[in-house]
Amino acid sequence: MGDKLDKLGVLIAALAAFAALWLPFAAFRANRIVAAQPRTIWEALPATGAAALLAVLVLAGLVALFRAPAVWRLCLGFAAIAALALAVGAAPSHLTPANNTYARVSPASGFWLALFAFSILCTDALTRLRPKPLARIAILIAVALAFALVLGSGLWDGLSILKEYSTRASAFWREARQHVLLAFGSLAASVAVGVPLGILCHRIRAFREPILNVLNIVQTIPSIALFGLLIAPLGWIALNVPGAQALGIRGIGAAPALVALFLYSLLPVVANTVVGLASVPAEASDAARGSGMTDRQRLFKVELPLAFPVILTGIRIVLVQNIGLATVAALIGGGGFGTFVFQGIGQTAMDLVLLGAVPTVALAFAAAVVLDALVEAATPRTRRQAA
């Protein structure tokens, strides 16, 4: 019997059972800021809906528990996630009194833990199936479209996070654009500076240790401290350098946030560029040199293409890191999704916190999936097989 059990599946089934049987599925509030009243699955849903949800969760849990084919695990994992999404959307209409516009219903810890458990099940199944890079991106697009369909259908309109969004829709998309600008703008700047710096460190070994040590020191500074340290010098530049304010340079706002994210991004890009170039086979460089290529031609036609997968791995690290760190930029007026996170903390409105946190997590996850697929697609097949 023991050899039929899946070790990871035991954990997934245990988490799902704990979430469904002991933790609250939804939280009811008389208004947006009062303490929440927990509701179990049986209390949050009509009897038929609760029974149907538990049946799907039990079936998915059993498939996870035993050594079932990966396709079954993937399908049942997605089915469980879909059932959770439908059920949490139905909870507000069951819990909220008629004509009550003040009450708030939000997913509780049981929902989030069950969602986490079955997300692990889907991830494990995809790992076992080893889909091609394009297939992974296609799955991501399908999930995004399904999520957009649920949002567009109005199924979740009764949830408090959507009610928070409805009153802040224009601000939400403004901060979304700012968040993307901070994350991708700092990434572009770090690649433009970090790759040449990595090439320099690879070519001139005397520069490698001092540059990497300085970048390591920057990486150890806490993010909020680095944001704060940049306020004074950028404020001085804004006051004393003509045209600086016209370019958007100020002591607070997006400028110090962008500079701090840029500084944090340099170490992964530089280090991965050095490692990637160092991993280029000596035979390839010798063959390029023997064919009469100049140093410049050898760098751009042989070394950088072979090092590209490793450099792209550093870019993936930077992007996921910056999407998360950009949240902290709201503390110095940099904007982004962190605006809602810190507003929600100040108002003890946890659904407002989720309005900023959930898109940040989703954006980081999507970026990781896409760049992982690109890294695998860019890696030669012989290296993938060796790994």
Average confidence score pLDDT of the chain: 88
Query: In terms of pLDDT, which residue wins out, 332 or 314?
Result: 314
Q: What is the pLDDT of residue 89?
A: 93
Beta-carbon contacts of 358 under 8 Å, excluding residues fewer than 6 positions away, are: 161
Question: 222: which DSSP letter?
Answer: -
The Cα–Cα gap between 220 and 376 comes to 30
pLDDT at 238: 72
Q: Are residues 176 and 293 in the same domain?
A: yes
Beta strands in 231-283 (DSSP E): none
Q: What is the pLDDT of residues 328-363, one digit of tens each?
A: 888 888 889 999 999 988 887 888 899 999 999 999
Please report, for the domain that includes residue 359, its CATH number.
1.10.3720.10
Write down the pLDDT at residue 386: 42
> Are 55 and 98 contained in the same domain?
yes
Q: 7-49, pLDDT tens digit by residue?
A: 889 999 999 999 999 999 999 988 877 788 999 999 999 999 9
* DSSP element (H, E) containing 288: helix 282-290
Q: What are the b/e assignments for 7-21, b being 16+ CB within 10 Å?
A: eebeebbebbbebbe
Looking at per-residue pLDDT, the higher value among 66 and 51 belongs to 51
What pLDDT score was predicted for residue 312? 93
Residue finishing a domain among 135, 166, 197 = 166
Residue-level pLDDT at 253? 73
Cα 257–chain centre separation: 19
**Sheet architecture: strand order including 104-107:** 37-39, 26-29, 104-107
Position 226 pLDDT exceeds 90 = no
For the CA atoms of 52, 55, 57, 61, the dihedral, rounded to the nearest 10 degrees, stands at -170
Residue 267, C-beta contacts closer than 8 angstroms, at least 6 positions apart:
212, 215, 216, 218, 219
Q: Residue written as tokens 């944090």?
A: 264
382 vs 342: which has the higher pLDDT: 342
Using one digit for the tens of pLDDT, what is the confidence trace for 249-271? 776 778 888 888 999 999 999 99
Task: Say if residue 98 is in the same domain as residue 208.
Answer: no
**Range of 35's domain?**
2-166
CA distance 151 to 133: 27
Confidence at 385, pLDDT banded by 50, 70, 90: very low
H/E stretch holding 215 reads: helix 205-220
Looking at the fold, whether 211 and 253 belong to one and the same domain comes out as: yes
Q: What are 292's two structure tokens?
A: 């009469």
| Full-model pTM | 0.85
The residue from 134, 166, 198 where one domain ends is 166
Query: Does residue 105 share a domain with residue 244?
Result: no
> pLDDT-derived band of residue 248, with 50, 70 and 90 as boundaries?
low
pLDDT of residue 35: 80
Last residue of a domain, one of 166, 198, 217: 166
Do 212 and 271 form a contact (C-beta atoms < 8 A)?
yes
Given a cut of 70, whether residue 384 has pLDDT beyond it is: no
Condensed to tens digits (0 to 9), the pLDDT of residues 121-172 reads 999 999 999 889 899 999 999 999 999 999 989 899 999 999 989 889 999 9
140 and 279 co-located in one domain: no
Q: Give the lowest-confidence range in 43-47, 226-230, 245-249, 369-373.
A: 245-249
One domain for residues 95 and 14? yes
DSSP 106: E
Q: Which tops the pLDDT comparison, 178 or 329? A: 178
Q: Number of H helices and number of E strands within the chain?
A: 17, 3
User: How much is the average pLDDT of 110-119?
Assistant: 95
Do 58 and 140 fall into the same domain?
A: yes
Check whether residue 14 and residue 159 sit in a common domain.
yes
Distances (CA, A) of 40 to 87, 141, 299: 12, 33, 62
Write the pLDDT tens digit of every residue in 64-112: 998 889 999 999 999 999 999 999 999 999 998 877 778 889 999 999 9
pLDDT at position 2 over 60: no
Instruction: Say yes or no to pLDDT of 387 above 50.
Output: no
**Same domain for 64 and 13:** yes
Number of independent structural domains in the chain: 2
User: For the chain, what percent of residues have pLDDT higher than 90?
Assistant: 54
Task: Based on the fold, state whether residues 197 and 323 are members of the same structural domain.
Answer: yes
Question: Are residues 95 and 182 located together in one domain of the fold?
Answer: no
CB atoms within 10 A of CB 30: 14
